[in-house]
């Protein structure tokens, strides 16, 4: 591991990077509710002229967890996209929450 902010935070809080992967997989997994949200949005887009009912305001999970490749890039200081940084942040905060520690901000990681 390199001396990136992310690597230092994982080391100081004694977090195994594999736990971040597992937490991300649990957080970002699509649920039945997410699928219905996507369906209603898609139907509203197709039937736009038919009815102007209520719009869907909830946001579904992305369905795209953090990958090992993205985690390695974050640990070594490589290029990581914005959405991937947010997924890593959510996963790290989930692990910190399980360890009953304070959550961190995005600036503390990257």
Helices (H), 1-110: 5-12, 17-28, 32-46, 68-76, 82-98, 106-109
Say how many residues make up the chain: 110
Nearest one of 99, 25, 89 to 63, comparing CA atoms: 25
Tokens at 82, concatenated: 């914005």
- What does the mean pLDDT of the chain come to? 90
Q: How many independent structural domains does the chain possess?
A: 1
Does residue 48 register a pLDDT over 80? Answer: no
How many CA atoms are closer than 13 Å to the CA of 104, on its beta-carbon side? 22
pLDDT of residue 1: 47
Is pTM beyond 0.75 here? yes
| 2-11, 42-51, 98-107: range with lowest mean pLDDT | 42-51
Q: Residue 28 belongs to what domain range?
A: 5-109
The pLDDT confidence band at residue 61, using thresholds 50, 70 and 90, is confident
């Amino acid at each position: 591991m390199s001396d990136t902010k992310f690597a230092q935070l994982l080391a100081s809080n004694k977090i195994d990077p594999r736990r971040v992967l597992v937490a991300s997989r649990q957080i970002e997994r699509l649920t039945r509710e997410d699928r219905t949200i996507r369906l209603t949005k898609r139907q509203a887009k197709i039937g736009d002229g038919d009815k102007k009912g209520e719009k869907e305001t909830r946001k579904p999970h992305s369905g795209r967890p953090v990958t090992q490749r993205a985690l390695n890039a974050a640990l070594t200081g490589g290029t990581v996209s914005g959405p991937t940084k947010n997924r890593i942040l959510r996963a790290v905060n989930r692990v910190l929450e399980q360890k009953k520690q304070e959550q961190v901000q995005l600036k503390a990681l990257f």
